[in-house]
């Protein structure tokens, strides 16, 4: 993301696979998924099942060599068994590592001076699923999260901040979303986004900006309804959205302090969208879906202390591992979604 109020140029988002399955769950706040390079998880870590195709190929190659050399000894069998256990229990502790299992690309947070690029890379995973429902729902969550922050900042009197967040969806997200909508035969809403930009950035009246904001959200919600996504797909998209929030947060909060306010606010907006969507699922007439959503909401509640204000006070302190709570919440939301498959 940039600090400029005008939309950025189109980005080519690279695939960062979403289809991970959480295997373990800590009783307290889940803090096992690191936003940095992969590390060995602790025994208490929520575990992500990574479809590591490259790893499987490497193991196959080793097995082939062992067969050719006639070295299939008992010790080798034990080593292979231990390696298999490591593959199951030592799965990527970070959301990036889980994504790298399928795509071979990990999106570690960039330093504070690269916050814009880190933010864009962090968001790309929310709409990179091969499942069109998950990808579209993820993109809609990103758009709504950005616009929420722009709207709140406008109401708080921060015109520059409002312009920055309002300008992001069309330049950074919508150009990726539009072909996905077309492939599903769904109408786009670029015109509504442009109207909102003109009202919010171009100096429209507060009434015009509010009307334009409401119009965009109406189209976002109409698109969600038209997708008729399964509850499982909805949970998967919300988990991906929370992973994006965790990456944004890791870029925005560094060393226990605000490094990139814009990224912190992005994370705040994405979490707010996820909360609203989970609350809607919790009202489902399907008891299994409602229970799963309630479990997910309980996990998400643990992230509340991470966002003390829209604009934190100068000198506000944050825990050094705060983003890990968001990664843990994403894992637990995905785990809750497995209950409704």
Q: Which of 86-90, 207-211, 267-271 shows the lowest mean pLDDT across its residues?
A: 86-90
Tell me: pLDDT of 78 over 90: no
Tell me: pLDDT of 171 over 50: yes
- Average pLDDT (97-124) is 42
Structural domain boundaries in the chain? 48-89, 107-338
- Average pLDDT (329-337) is 96
* Residue 285, burial from CB neighbour count under 10 angstroms (0-12, 13-18, 19+): exposed
Per-residue pLDDT, 241? 98
**For residue range 222-266, what is the model confidence (pLDDT) as tens digits?**
999 999 999 999 999 999 999 999 999 999 999 999 999 999 999
- Average pLDDT (116-127) is 54
28 token code pair: 């307290």
Q: Which residue has the higher pLDDT, 5 or 104?
A: 5
- Average pLDDT (39-47) is 35
Per-residue pLDDT, 320? 75
CA distances from residue 53 to 82, 191, 230 in whole angstroms, order as listed: 18, 41, 27
190-221 burial code (b ≥16 CB/10 A, e <16): eebbebbbebbbeebeeebbbebbebbbebbe
């Amino acid at each position: 993301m940039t600090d400029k109020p005008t939309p950025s140029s189109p980005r080519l988002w690279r695939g960062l696979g979403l289809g991970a399955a959480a295997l373990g769950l800590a009783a307290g706040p889940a803090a096992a998924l690191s936003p940095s390079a992969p590390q060995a998880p602790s025994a208490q870590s929520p575990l992500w099942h990574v479809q590591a195709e490259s790893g499987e190929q490497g193991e196959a190659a080793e097995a082939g060599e062992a067969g050719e050399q006639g070295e299939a000894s008992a010790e080798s069998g034990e080593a292979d068994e231990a390696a298999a256990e490591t593959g199951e229990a030592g799965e990527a502790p970070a959301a990036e590592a889980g994504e790298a299992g399928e795509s071979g690309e990990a999106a570690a947070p960039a330093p504070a001076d690269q916050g814009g690029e880190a933010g864009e890379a962090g968001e790309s995973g929310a709409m990179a699923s091969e499942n069109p429902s998950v990808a579209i729902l993820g993109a809609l969550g990103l758009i709504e999260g950005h616009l929420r922050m722009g709207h709140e900042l406008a109401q708080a009197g921060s015109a520059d901040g409002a312009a920055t967040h309002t300008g992001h969806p069309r330049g950074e997200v919508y150009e990726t979303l539009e072909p996905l909508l077309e492939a599903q035969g769904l109408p786009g809403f670029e015109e509504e986004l442009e109207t909102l930009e003109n009202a919010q950035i171009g100096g429209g009246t507060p009434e015009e900006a509010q009307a334009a904001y409401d119009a965009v959200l109406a189209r976002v919600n109409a698109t969600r309804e038209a997708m008729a996504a399964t509850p499982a797909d909805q949970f998967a998209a919300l988990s991906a959205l929370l992973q994006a929030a965790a990456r944004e947060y890791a870029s925005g909060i560094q060393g226990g302090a605000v490094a990139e306010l814009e990224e912190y606010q992005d994370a705040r907006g994405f979490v707010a969208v996820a909360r609203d969507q989970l609350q809607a699922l919790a009202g489902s007439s399907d008891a299994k879906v409602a229970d799963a959503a309630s479990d997910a909401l309980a996990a998400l509640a643990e992230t509340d202390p991470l966002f003390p204000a829209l604009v934190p006070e100068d000198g506000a302190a944050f825990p050094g591992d705060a983003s890990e709570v968001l990664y843990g919440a994403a894992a637990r939301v995905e785990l809750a979604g497995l209950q409704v498959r």
